[in-house]
Structure formats: C-alpha cells, structure tokens
Amino acid sequence: MVLNLFVQISKGRLLQMIKNEIAICIDFWFNGSKNTPDWINNTINFIDQRQEIGTVVLATYDTGLESLNREGLDWYINRDLILHDNLPVPTKWIQTRYQAAVRYTPWNPWIKEQFTHPALLHAGWEGKHKIAMHWWYQLEYYLKLHPHYNAIWIFGCEFNQCCKTREIGWQYGPTLTGMPWFTNSNCICDPHWLGKLENWQHAHDTIWRYV
C-alpha cells in the first residue's frame, strides 16, 4: 500500500514536470462559416499533440451569452470553480466600463457580441485542463496555484492587435509572468506579422519566441 502511494505521488510529480506549459487562445471568433480555418485546426492539433501543455486558457472576448449559457462547457465551469466570487479583484484591474462583468467575461453591450469557434470550444484534449480567463489577476492567481508552469504559448487572430493588447495578451504578458512566451506561425490567423515584429524571434520550424 505504501509502495502504491509512493508510485502515485511519483507519477503525479512526473506529470507536473512534463505538463509545464500553458496555452492561451485569444479571440477564436466564429464567423458562421461551415469550414473551420486551417489555423484553428492547426491550433487544436498542436495543443493535442504537445505533451508539455497541461492547461489551455480560453480568452474569447466580447462573448456575453456564451459565458452565461455555459452548462456543459468545462472552460466556464472550471473558471467558476477556481476563480470564484471570493477571489479578490485588485483595484488596478477594475475598469468602469467592465465593472458589471469584471469577475467574468468583459463584454460591452455596444460592441457586437462574439462567439468562440465551436471547433475550439468543444475540443477534447484528454488530460489537459480547460479554463476561461480574461484578466491578468486571474492568470496570476492560477499560476500561484500551479507553480510548476514555466512557459506560455499564445495563439489566436489579429496577432499584433488582439493577441497583443488583450488583458492577457503578449504586450505585457512576458514581463508580468517572468516566463518565456512562444507561438506557432501555423496557429495564428495572420502569421505575416511575426517577421515584422522586433519582439518576436524565429526559433525553429514554425516556432517563434518572444524576446
């Protein structure tokens, strides 16, 4: 019995050592097309095949009803369980226009409501934890709960706009987390930006690293 417990603990620690990366998916909006864009399929496959990714963060902004009608969606169920109402919201993150939704999904009624692409929203990824986040204090809190994470991937559309300037985008993310950030040119909708941004350096193949 003691040996079995030791084996279980060892496996748990090994799993943490292996799954030490987080993937953040920003604004995988659905435009109503029946065809799933290649970059979204690429993202789903890359996350599925990369053993090191242990947590996938859904950061689809301007989604009002999606986050309210969330039965059966692990993203929002896990968010409500972990980022509960008792989690203090630092004053610096509270913006007047978002106060009504600061604990959940930022959504302005005067902006067109968006929905996450169903291919990503319902992706399986066995063994990976799915959670919705939209604010830095949420990611900061999650990293404190899981200190074994030491690298972050960022995927999405409008790489030099949404992926950059969203609340958990790459503009301030590497500095705030103190971790290396990566992306895959096959997993963003506009990879031509990567060669134009001095913050991003080609590492190998389709992998780029924030510098």
59-72 pLDDT, tens digit per residue, is 998 876 676 666 77
137 versus 97: which is more confidently predicted?
137
Per-residue model confidence (pLDDT) at position 181 = 98
Does residue 6 belong to any structural domain of this protein? no
- The answer to whether the beta carbons of residues 58 and 93 sit under 8 Å apart is no
Task: Give the range of the structural domain holding residue 112, as residue numbers without chain letter.
Answer: 21-210
Q: What are the pLDDT digits (tens) for 15-53?
A: 555 799 999 999 999 998 999 999 999 999 999 999 999
Residues with Cβ < 8 Å from 27, sequence gap 6 or more? 59, 60, 61, 114, 156, 157, 158, 162, 163, 166
Tell me: pLDDT of 118 over 50.
Answer: yes
The pLDDT tens digits for 96-116 are 444 434 434 445 555 677 889
pLDDT of 113 reads: 75
Least confident of 2-6, 39-43, 183-187, 188-192: 2-6
The pLDDT score that the predictor gives to residue 114 is: 81
**In this predicted model, what pLDDT tens digit does every residue of 74-84 receive, in sequence order?**
998 898 888 87
Q: Is 29 part of a structural domain of the chain?
A: yes
CA 18 to CA 85: how far, in whole Å?
Answer: 31
**Whether the Cβ atoms of residue 106 and residue 167 lie closer than 8 Å to each other:** yes
Tell whether 206 is covered by a domain: yes
Is there a domain that residue 124 lies in? yes
What is the number of domains present in the chain? 1
User: Across the chain, what does the average pLDDT equal?
Assistant: 84
CATH code, domain carrying 145: 3.40.50
Percent of the chain at pLDDT > 90 equals 62
Is it the case that residue 143 has pLDDT exceeding 80? yes
Residue 5 lies inside a defined structural domain of this protein: no
In a domain, 7, yes or no: no
User: What confidence score (pLDDT) does residue 49 get?
Assistant: 97
